[in-house]
Structure 1
Amino acid sequence: MNSNLRTLSVATALLLAAAVLAPASAAAAPSADPEPRFQVRKAVQLLGTMSEYKGTYPAAAFPGWADADHDGCDTRAEVLREEAVAAPRIEEDCLVASGQWYSWYDDRQLTGDPARQVEVHHLVPLKEAWESGAHAWDTATREAYVNDLAAAATLTAVSAAAARDRGDRDPAEWLPPYAPARCAYVADWIATKLRWGLTVDFLEAVKLTEVAQGCPNTPLAVPAR
């Protein structure tokens, strides 16, 4: 995978948290910019608010990891390779056997076999996406969401413990335990929902707005699909 596809890594987002971006004057009209940028407290106002879909969430609602560029590495392996602090050890069939990763949710350094301690997961969980609009998508769109490597906000590598703790909860119920990561987390959540046309429920919108008010200079990018 071309590393340029994941242009705003989590580390970059945290480093840029103090940068001031101009308000998005193009928010009210279509923009020629393929990756419009906003301040997070402005972007939260662009989200559509709607009650969550309460229908059944099928076990096979979303396809699994894919190898979209046919290089022998599936999406999980691509993210592990991309977000490794140093070049990881890769074995046959693109198995990421060991390496070092930074878990930004809980401020932990992870070393060794990623299968034991690192989880590549969707920042907006699959079940949350389903309840926010993905239930109406076709299979191809769901597969594209599962394997979205073109936007760094969609997928991230974090500690398995933090991923389990978060589960399917939205920001009204869970935020990263490492407080300095919360602005970046909310920015990535909003960016993902805007990129994929997903809605937020009332309590989710309230919490996003509350957190965003404390992140006046946090950048947010929404790559075109």
Structure 2
Amino acid sequence: MTPRWGGVVPSVAAAVLCTVVLSACDPRAGAAGAEGSAAPKATGAEGSAVAALDALPVKGRAPKTGYDRTRVFGPAWSDNTTAPGGHNGCDTRNDVLRRDLANVAGKNASRCVVASGVLEHDPYTGKRIDFTRGQTTSMAVQIDHIVALSDAWQKGAQQLTQDQREALANDGLNLIAADGPANQQKSDADAATWLPANKSFRCPYVARQIAVKKKYKLWVTSAERDAMRRVLNTCPTQPLPDEQSAGVAFAR
């Protein structure tokens, strides 16, 4: 005999309950928090990374045709750019090392060249890294483009002027000192295919990517937008950084 609840077949009772409390029977209710699934959309306050993400154009990747790092983004670590901190007499790589490392020591009394220092809390792995300049040691700490240049090329940078592209490649907002192997693992990935292993840095990382894409009028793919959204749903009030608030400017 089929079990009954108060004289009503359970499936019928459930249907009645659904009519009264629709949300309780919405099949999406349990899926929202599942790993990798679409999460509830947070409302972005003005000045937040969420609001800026909502305003970014969403398009597919453009072909990588014509991409050549030096030709389209200029020589690596040029000081001669319109980026904040440009023309300060130091190349951009050393600017980032001086900004992001602690206990910095210069080379041969140079105010620019960083001979050693400590990355006290690597943003990508969370570990401490001692940096010593040398042929076999310098790559322990690398300078990462938070928005990879080849990714930028496929998402709007082809429409920028040469000066704007060189500024993007040397802008402190888009640069960070990080663990060398983690940077190599990231390569030219966007947020849809790579996020820092250090989960505490994922919100600031995604916010910096959004800030760069907003500043240089780049777009995101739908998969990239969704990945960013999943991260920001854990920190809906994450602010959109700028050179001042994020402390990413270079000393002059």
Matched, 1:83 2:106: no
Q: In the TM superposition, what is the alpha-carbon distance from 1:146 to its structure 2 partner?
A: 1.1
Residue 167 of structure 2 corresponds to 144
Matched, 1:72 2:83: no
> What SS is found at the alignment partner of 2:190?
coil
Q: How far apart are the structure 2 equivalents of 1:148 and 1:118? A: 18
Q: Compared with structure 1, are the counterparts of its residues 55 and 162 closer, same or farther at alpha carbon in structure 2 (3 Å cutoff)?
A: closer
Q: In the TM superposition, what is the alpha-carbon distance from 1:124 to its structure 2 partner?
A: 0.1
Match of 1:48 among 39, 44, 57: 57
Contact in 2 for aligned 1:124/1:192 (Cα 8 Å): yes
Structure 1 stretches of 5 or more lacking a match?
Answer: 1-21, 25-37
> What SS is found at the alignment partner of 1:86?
strand
Residue 125 of structure 2 corresponds to 106
Q: How far apart are the structure 2 equivalents of 1:80 and 1:210? A: 31
Matched, 1:179 2:199: yes
> What amino acid maps onto 1:39 in structure 2?
S
TM-score, normalisation: structure 2: 0.69
Residue 217 of structure 2 corresponds to 197
Q: In the TM superposition, what is the alpha-carbon distance from 1:133 to its structure 2 partner?
A: 0.5
Matched, 1:215 2:227: no
Q: In the TM superposition, what is the alpha-carbon distance from 1:148 to its structure 2 partner?
A: 1.3
Q: In the TM superposition, what is the alpha-carbon distance from 1:145 to its structure 2 partner?
A: 1.0
From the two aligned structures, give the one with the greater strand fraction.
Answer: 1
Residue 23 of structure 1 corresponds to 45
Residue 61 of structure 1 corresponds to 72
Q: What RMSD in Å do the two structures reach over aligned CA positions?
A: 2.1
Q: In the TM superposition, what is the alpha-carbon distance from 1:222 to its structure 2 partner?
A: 4.4
Q: Could you tell me the percent identity over the aligned residues?
A: 32
Q: Compared with structure 1, are the counterparts of its residues 109 and 223 closer, same or farther at alpha carbon in structure 2 (3 Å cutoff)?
A: closer
Q: In the TM superposition, what is the alpha-carbon distance from 1:121 to its structure 2 partner?
A: 1.8
Q: Deviations over 1:128-181 (max 9, x none)?
A: 1100101122211111111113xxx31111011110011100000000001111
Structure 2 stretches of 5 or more lacking a match?
Answer: 1-43, 81-85, 245-252
Q: Compared with structure 1, are the counterparts of its residues 180 and 62 closer, same or farther at alpha carbon in structure 2 (3 Å cutoff)?
A: same
Contact in 2 for aligned 1:195/1:223 (Cα 8 Å): no
Q: How far apart are the structure 2 equivalents of 1:168 and 1:118? A: 17
TM-score, normalisation: structure 1: 0.76
Q: Compared with structure 1, are the counterparts of its residues 194 and 183 closer, same or farther at alpha carbon in structure 2 (3 Å cutoff)?
A: same
